Amino acid sequence: MRSSLPRLLILIWLAMVLAACGSASGARRDALPAPDTTTAGGAYKGASDYRLGAQDLIEVSVFGVEDLSKTVRVNSNGQISLPLVGAIMAGGQTIPELEAELAKRYSDGYLQRPQVTVFIKEFASQRITMEGAFKTPGIYPLTGKTTLLQAVAVAGGLDPLADLGGVVLFRQIDGKRRAAVYNMRELRSGKVEDPQLYGDDIIVVEQSGSKTALRRFIETIPALGLFLAL
């Protein structure tokens, strides 16, 4: 991932011009829209739209029948195995689609009007990138609904030299790479909303005192927590 960072910095230089124009015109910027796609290989807008992929961990429960409740992982072929109904193709299905399919299978000679609930415990096919001044930077799977503060904790927290006001979230929105700047002190105090993360999000944290293009971008943005097109 480090090899792609210079490209982001080049784009940031272009964003500085847009930031200055936006500040002068007072144009409105949308706060934290969801990413473009809902496919298994990209970001997702919500659990109801998300299509299951290999290695996702799901919890299946049937109301009133505890023995049929099970936590299973989607295998490399997109299948899961459940009591009574055996192998089911879960890959490529949304949660409502899978719930309907399982209800149909269980009602076929087993249960009357079964109420099946599927919950995603780990979005293993969705990942976020934590780059820069983290104690443990890297690429991490999304394990359910995850916010920026939770992701920082998963990466072991920030490095002692991290700039708490230099947390930048990159996201693909409306076909464009966008960025938003956050201050960790304000996030932790609740002064600004802790944003939900989506697959393919990139979080970059600057070191205190750095003099990079990313630092100049952070200083240019007139408001925190708003996405600016690059």
Is the pLDDT at 45 greater than 80, yes or no?
Answer: no
pLDDT of residue 39: 39
Indicate the CATH number for domain 60-122: 3.30.1950.10
Report the distance separating Cα 215 and Cα 168, nearest Å: 10
- For the chain, the structural domain boundaries read 2-41+125-229, 60-122
Indicate the CATH number for domain 2-41+125-229: 3.10.560.10
Specify the higher pLDDT residue, 196 or 13: 196
Are 164 and 183 within 8 A, CB to CB? Answer: yes
pLDDT of residue 19: 42
Is the pLDDT at 215 greater than 80, yes or no?
Answer: no
- Can you give the length of the chain in residues? 230
Average pLDDT over residues 89-118: 93
Report the distance separating Cα 129 and Cα 141, nearest Å: 9
Is the pLDDT at 196 greater than 80, yes or no?
Answer: yes
Is the pLDDT at 117 greater than 50, yes or no?
Answer: yes
Q: What's the token pair of residue 56?
A: 């996702």
pLDDT in tens, 17-44: 344 334 333 333 345 566 654 433 333 4
pLDDT of residue 109: 82
Confidence of residue 203 (pLDDT cuts 50, 70, 90): very high
Least confident of 103-112, 153-162, 164-173, 216-225: 216-225
Report the distance separating Cα 77 and Cα 74, nearest Å: 8
Sign of CA dihedral 102, 67, 54, 126: positive
pLDDT of residue 30: 41
Average pLDDT over residues 80-84: 94
Is the pLDDT at 222 greater than 70, yes or no?
Answer: no
Is the pLDDT at 82 greater than 90, yes or no?
Answer: yes
Report the distance separating Cα 55 and Cα 79, nearest Å: 10
Specify the higher pLDDT residue, 14 or 76: 76
- Residue 43 sits at the vertex; the CA angle it makes with 36 and 81, to the nearest 5 degrees, is 135
pLDDT of residue 135: 94
| Nearest partner of 185 among 156, 158, 217, judged by Cα | 158
Confidence of residue 74 (pLDDT cuts 50, 70, 90): very high
